[in-house]
Structure 1
């Protein structure tokens, strides 16, 4: 009968008179709970919410041992979730040459030249974050450009999107890339009119050079994780959904959690096809480990490139380069068996798909998997598979997401960054199906929001602003930006809270501020549900609370 006693103990409701450990009072609380949308105070017992309501009623949960934290009118929202980012890349951005903000070709070269001056002859120089959008002219750098400033060091510099890199002649020589080198599947070595490599490598072609770069020491990877976690918490993220890990990353994440070094909640995906995905299929998911701080139940597939580097797979050629329509980076025939096994083993699948061709084909593959593995043969009847980015869609494919139960994982800042060059890549007509957040919502699809950091800055206020304004951070809007695709503030908040929780099978525990859920919330310096749009960009996180613990506080 011991099991019955345990079961009764778990099921026993906690008395309302039982005191709270912490009461957060005098806040403007947006709960994202339709039954109680607004409150003043939140009482926390252990790592869960015990009460949500008025300041006066919260006093019923107070005794001599209860801590009371006065929020001084601060705006409180459910703990924000970044539904798509790369935690190691965020940390590495802080450790290596960060080329963000190089808004001219000359500024880009100056940053690289500064690093060359500090680097021993023959040593690799690596960096990330350049983008040519605002350069004059807006064109990719070449190996000749880099050779002039770094003749004695191999150089490998990744574009902001992570789907293209520029290298110099020294790097090409080490990798054995010459005019006769063929393009690998799912990648391209850009060549000039004479057939010589120009130094630009797209998608899988990057691997030829990247495989020659010495791997970072484990201590460096640990530092990258730590820096990434610290940054996310300080920005107000309570959970991140890490969009892809190799086997070594998974092991590091587990060790760091075992040591209690990770305050951030992490919902991790294993890259597939490959060793990480295979291990996940064999061993099964890890759910709510380390006090609800680590879950791994997802395989991440990268199915095409990026729009800016013209690797996104399109149904028709690029408007500004008619000789290409981009490319797929995985073979369809190899994905279907993986998807079928995932359904049988209860593993979620999320797939990077940017171009309209990539999105159509991945929906076709998902649909075939669903048809060949019917619900009674699945470990989870409704698998909540996802498409990451879903940036360019043909109008006929937008309703398919809701119909198939496929979640749309989108990053609003991509629109306000990409729309400066998207008209050139796509032409005006195809922009009707670009970054179509509102169109997806109108069909009944679940749309969760993320940042794709370090591709973008990764700041929640930029993402929220982009979602509701559809304007650049300077307030610009141009032809083809389709302002009707902007969402309401309520919809935007749901994208980063309850919808993100649903996309991770976590809506019972997360996504709203209500009794019984985990005590995760973000406290902001201004009321983002009311202030003018431009002021959202100046709003900062003043407190991040995870499991009732204040893990970050801005003491300004």
Structure 2
């Protein structure tokens, strides 16, 4: 019910427009960054009826430029620039609300109960879909099996995505529908887990999931709109005024544009085309779309993949996994193939953002950028490596040398702390989740969450960045605390540097004259609460382009 109320309130506020010359927010406890990235405070801000800021500063100075403006007294509450998530999946977030919840269950038995309950409540669905399982939390010491899913869903196909989106747990009906038998070959960049007899165990890793994805029913237009409505309601409620959507297709691009046209895109979206296949060929006909619908939408980047994820041991490592010496993970493409994909996107003028988690995955992409940089200058495009999670210490300086942006997700570190060092050992962990090392060399980190894999709440991300602890403040003292960010660094990577990583620092990321009036009002002062309470700060109001899109 809370979720539904949030959607209704957001929808009502999104269409409300105030007919006046402008608005002045006064009596604020305001913080922003200036053009140099330095933290500054302000007492008031004012924006015109187009939603652009005309003044930010002292009450007197702002009032002088806001004569005749409507005044809103925020009674000393904290005002911050709208927060930005540099890596998320908008429709994936909306889809969570319409799938079996596997994020919450702390055991296999609880997960089975959740799936069974969802299946019983949705008898009309041809497939039972779930998201969010994590065998590490279940303390299984193994992946779940096809028989364990058959036990709760045996009448129709069922497919459950792992929390990182890089492994899928399926039942017998799904294996049958996908045509997977003991004779089915592993695809390049993927793996069908098998038992001692060579039979599929029900776990598909990385590109092996495509056997199922290609036969899953596509959402109807109404279902897609419901997903987008749900996601936008959540994003506004946690103070996100802009997100970078890491992988869109023709259908989602069409819907984003329609929502921008209709004034319904209550969070700005900087979208990346998923891969350089058919969707890219269609969407790239007119070249990069740098701004659309009052800078509510952009489509000027491409998302590619180098490898899988650490939790499912799909991340590609230079040396074998410390806890599974028989494997090094999976590179999705040969060096030549990924280089060809990157070049295709570069040649068409797009920013190239490549998922790379393992040290071999990161090295492959850095090598590709270095080779192609001789023909296509790198710095101007601000190409990115998404995650940059486990990097050889010798490769970290190459990000700065090649002008590659590390796009990182602080909550991944605090979620992965229960298994990361087991996977890579005590030496490689020194180059993992190494935010301080990147910042010290002068790299600008674009921070995100990878929602719905993690919570989209950016204050959880700032909490993780500063404390190196999860939301229960575990472990005491922080996990590899020497890699933590300062509070200002964390604030900057969720605002100005995230905007910069999307070529949007001229318009958003800080509260400065001429930029959009994207801001949030919070119930506590980010810069005065104890660090362990940062993640508990609540968003009271969210404004985008001078319009209130959320109120608690």
TM above 0.5, yes or no, is yes
Equivalent residues in 2 for 1:332-411, closer than 5 Å: 332-373=335-376, 375=377, 382-411=380-409
Contact 2:241 2:519 in 1 (8 A): yes
Task: Decide whether aligned partners of structure 1 residues 221 and 414 sit closer, same or farther in structure 2, where only a CA change above 3 A counts.
Answer: same
Partner of 1:49: 53
- The equivalent residue for 2:311 is 308
How far the C-alpha of 1:472 sits from its partner, in A, is: 1.8
Check if 1:540 corresponds to 2:538: yes
Contact 2:468 2:478 in 1 (8 A): no
**Range that drifts further, 175-184 or 476-485:** 476-485
Q: Does 1:241 align with 2:239?
A: no
Partner of 1:433: 431
Q: 2:254 aligns with which of 251, 254, 272?
A: 251
Stretch moving more, 479-488 or 489-498: 479-488
Superimposed CA distance per residue, residues 362-401 of structure 1 (whole angstroms, 9 cap, x where no aligned partner): 000011111133x4xxxx8611000000000100000110
**Helix, strand or coil at the partner of 1:50:** strand
CA distance in 2, matches of 1:32, 1:121: 51
Please say if residues 42 and 52 of structure 1, whose CA atoms lie closer than 8 Å, have aligned partners that are also in contact.
yes
Separation of aligned partners in 1, 2:379 and 2:501: 15
Q: Which residue of 2 aligns with 1:526?
A: 524
Q: Which residue of 2 aligns with 1:170?
A: 173
TM-score (norm 2): 0.93
Q: Specify which of 456, 459, 462 is matched with residue 458 of structure 1.
A: 456
Residue 122 of structure 1: how far off its partner (Å): 8.6
Aligned mate of 2:218, from 202, 210, 215: 215
- Contact in 1 for aligned 2:379/2:403 (Cα 8 Å): no
**Within 2, Cα distance between the matches of 1:356 and 1:396?**
10
Answer yes or no: is the 8 Å Cα contact 1:103–1:132 preserved in 2: no
Instruction: Tell me the distance in 1 between the aligned counterparts of 2:39 and 2:116.
Output: 57
Query: Does the aligned pair in 2 maintain the 1:22–1:44 contact within 8 Å?
Result: yes
Per the alignment, residue 6 of structure 1 pairs with none
Q: Partner of 1:107 in structure 2?
A: 110
Shift of 1:459: 0.8
- Give the direction of change, closer, same or farther, for the CA distance of 1:526–1:174 in structure 2 (3 Å limit): same
State which drifts further: 282-291 or 83-92: 282-291
2:8 matched residue in structure 1: none
Query: Are 1:198 and 2:201 counterparts?
Result: yes
1:283: Cα distance to partner? Answer: 1.6
Q: What per-residue deviation string (whole Å, max 9, x for no partner) do you get for residues 278-311 of structure 1?
A: 2344321112210110111001001111100110
Bigger mean CA offset, 516-525 vs 55-64: 55-64
SS of equivalent to 1:95: coil
Cα distance in 2 for partners of 1:335, 1:282 equals 21
Tell me how far apart the structure 1 counterparts of residues 66 and 398 of structure 2 sit (CA, whole Å): 51
CA RMSD, Structure 1 to Structure 2 (Å): 1.8
Q: CA deviation at 1:551?
A: 1.2
CA distance in 2, matches of 1:540, 1:294: 27
Q: Equivalent residue for 2:513?
A: 515
Q: Structure 1 CA distance, aligned partners of 2:344 and 2:326?
A: 37
Unmatched runs of 5 consecutive residues or more in structure 2: 1-19
Three-state SS of the structure 2 residue aligned to 1:287 is strand
Distance 1:447 1:120, change over 3 A: same
Rounded to whole Å, the distance in 1 between the matches of 2:269 and 2:380 is 22
Give the alignment's TM-score, normalised by structure 1.
0.92
Query: Which has the larger Rg?
Result: 1
Q: Distance in 1 between matches of 2:341 and 2:450?
A: 25
- Equivalent of residue 63 in structure 2, options 20, 44, 59: 59
Distance (whole Å) between structure 2 residues aligned to residue 543 and residue 284 of structure 1: 36
In the alignment, which residue of structure 1 is the partner of 2:499? 501
Q: Which residue number in structure 1 is paired with residue 24 of structure 2?
A: 23
Structure 1 unaligned segments of length 5 or more: list them. Answer: 1-18
Residue aligning to 2:13: none
SS of the residue 1:173 aligns to: helix
The worse-fitting range, judged by mean Cα deviation, of 200-209 and 123-132 is: 123-132
Aligned to 1:80: 83
Q: CA deviation at 1:118?
A: 3.0
Distance across 1 between alignment mates of 2:386 and 2:306: 10
Contact 2:241–2:267 (8 Å) recurs in 1 = yes
Partner of residue 137 from structure 1, selected from 125, 140, 143: 140
Is the 8 Å Cα contact of residues 340 and 372 (structure 1) preserved in structure 2? no
TM-superposed CA distance for 1:243, in Å, is 0.5
Q: How many equivalent pairs are there?
A: 530
Counterpart contact for 1:178–1:197, Cα < 8 Å = yes
> Which residue of 464, 467, 470 maps to 2:468?
470
| TM-superposition CA deviations, 1:137-185 (whole Å, max 9, x none) | 3432110111122222211011111110101111111111111211111
Kindly indicate whether the alpha-carbon contact (under 8 Å) linking 1:132 and 1:138 is maintained by their aligned counterparts in 2.
yes
> 1:339, CA displacement in angstroms?
2.7
Give the deviation of 1:121 after TM superposition: 8.6
Measured against aligned partners, the alpha-carbon deviations of 1:23-81 in whole angstroms (never above 9, x if no partner) come to 011111111115771111001112111111112332223444x2111112221221111
8 Å CA contact 1:269–1:299 kept in 2: the answer is yes
Mapped partners of 1:36, 1:541: distance in 2: 20
4+ runs deviating over 6 angstroms: none
1:404-438: CA deviations, max 9, x gaps?
A: 11001000000000111112211222111110011
| Cα separation, 1, equivalents of 2:346 and 2:198 | 45
SS at the partner of 1:233?
helix
Tell me, what secondary structure is at the counterpart of 1:416?
helix
Q: In terms of mean alpha carbon deviation, does 221-230 or 130-139 score higher?
A: 130-139
